[in-house]
Chain A
Amino acid sequence: MKQPLRFTVNGEERALFVDTRATLIEALRDGLGLAGTKEGCSNGNCGACTVSLDGKPVLACLVLAVEAQGSQVATIEGLARDGRLDPLQRAFIAEGGLQCGFCTPGLLMLARSFLDQHPRPTEREIRAAISGNLCRCTGYDKIVRAIQRAARSQPAAGAAAGS
């Protein structure tokens, strides 16, 4: 059963017809050609498909596309702005926080949201935050260091708010 879906992806209005069974990641990858988001386990265990839905990180394999009706979705394709990588992406490169890269889009989307809410996290907090995102290459240390580096490079939330 197909239903019309209208939603905003990386700031752009998109409309397509989706099967009610289609997941959000299928709509993004197959419907819109946004193949940056990766599908790993398809059952919510690996975190590879993490995207932002209405400002919060979610697993795109555990969301039906039709549930995103009217929502704001942000994917890895929207993280760099005007051809400039997000500081978090630059930190991953600087620290070598990736090898095969399959988990990287999901980790970046999760970590971006986490750093927005916790500008000065401890290492423990970072490790807990990314616990739902599996990486089979790096052993995580370089990923944690990359997130720490990005945290150091950004203004604290209080400072940004001028308080």
Chain B
Amino acid sequence: MRAFDYRAPTTLTEVLALLAQAKGEVRPLVGGTDLIPQLREGRKRPALVLDLKRIPDLGRLEYDPDMGLRIGAAVTCSAVAAHPQVRRHYAALAQAAALVGSRAIQNRASIGGNICNASPSADTVPPLLCLSARAFVAGGRGQREVELERFFQGPGKTILAKDELLVEVVVPPPAKRSASCYLRFTPRAEMDIAVAGVAALIVLDGGRQCQEARLALAAVAPRPLRVPTAEAALKGRALDAQALEEAGELAAQAAQPITDIRGGAEYRRRLVRVLTRQALEQCLAALQAGQR
């Protein structure tokens, strides 16, 4: 590991000043579950490691029925997975947070880190895309707010400038008669990385008719991918078996998978079709069970 300076500021102002003044590369640190192996293997060589865990604002996780959910960038996966209102109103996100690594990993790994690593396989991102999350970014030139969907530019690449930091993500309140679900396929149930993942969200009208649907895919494109074709096909339809099958087919067509150590491209495409159908089925089942 190359030598680096370590600072753990307690205010956002200090962090932004350190980012602005930095001569060499700066790496923000929360859980370290990705960064520390990267440092050890020399894949990241920062001059300064900036620990964000001592900044109270970044650790806040708050739900308000009118405002929705605010997740500070340093909030852990454990905290999200255990939060009663996240589990109730944003099921896909709670499910995904509980899938990251193991318990010991979830106690450290943060939602902000999962986002900013910009891994195509990040589990918490597709649910956040389905839930219309917005990212709040602070930097030397002030704050800006972007749709989380526009945050990713490719594997490991985000829109953040050198002097910018992800502060929090905000998820609007859940629509009435809506449900969400995240499913992923891995050879092992735990401690694994998605071969493919699918998040689904549906909003029903009074009956079984779909008022709105959102789908997002993990690990089958250079970045987390929404599927507008399948979403449009589901809108206004009765969600019967055929509608779900068609949505799966459209999602599989939208996927841009590669063949790598975790799976072949064609296999991933087929997984997307099946997982999409199953995720939609689970949303319907959750609504029927009256979870929301």
A residues with CB within 8 A of B: 1, 3, 19-21, 23, 42-45, 47, 50, 53, 56-59, 61-64, 66-67, 69, 110, 114, 128-129, 131-133
Contact = CB atoms under 8 A, between A and B. Distances in A.
Contacts of A62: 31-33, 36-37, 105, 108
A128 B101 CA distance: 11
Interface of B: 1, 3-6, 8, 29, 31-33, 36-37, 39-40, 49, 51, 53, 78, 101-105, 107-108, 188-191
B6 A131 contact: no
B5 A132 contact: no
Classify the interface of chain B: helix, strand, loop or mixed. loop
A21 B39 CA distance: 9
A64 B108 contact: no
B120 to A, nearest CB: 20
A16 B74 CA distance: 27
B104 A1 contact: no
A1 B3 contact: yes
A21 B108 CA distance: 18
A131 B191 contact: yes
13 contacts: A21-B39, A44-B33, A45-B191, A56-B107, A58-B107, A59-B33, A59-B108, A62-B37, A66-B6, A67-B29, A128-B189, A128-B190, A131-B188
Nearest to B37: A43
A121 to B, nearest CB: 12
B103 A132 contact: yes
Given A63-B32, A67-B32, A56 B78 contact: yes
B114 to A, nearest CB: 14
A1 B278 CA distance: 52
Contacts of B39: 21
B37 A20 contact: no
Contact of A20 (B49, B101, B107): B49
Contacts of B103: 57, 110, 114, 129, 132
Contacts of A19: 3
Contacts of B107: 53, 56-58
Contact of B4 (A20, A69, A114, A132): A20
Contact of B104 (A20, A42, A47, A128): A47
B32 A64 contact: yes
A59 B102 CA distance: 10
B218 to A, nearest CB: 20
Contacts of B102: 47, 131-133
Minimum-distance CB pairs A-B, first 9 = A132-B102, A131-B190, A20-B6, A56-B107, A21-B1, A43-B37, A57-B104, A59-B104, A62-B36
A44 B105 contact: yes
B101 A132 contact: yes
Contacts of A110: 103-104
A132 B101 CA distance: 7
A129 B190 CA distance: 9
Contacts of A69: 8
Nearest to A23: B36
Contacts of A128: 189-190
B206 to A, nearest CB: 38
Given A57-B107, A67-B51, 6 more contacts: A21-B1, A43-B40, A47-B104, A62-B105, A63-B36, A67-B53
A57 B103 CA distance: 8
Contacts of A56: 78, 107
Contacts of B29: 64, 67
Nearest to B1: A21
B49 A58 contact: no
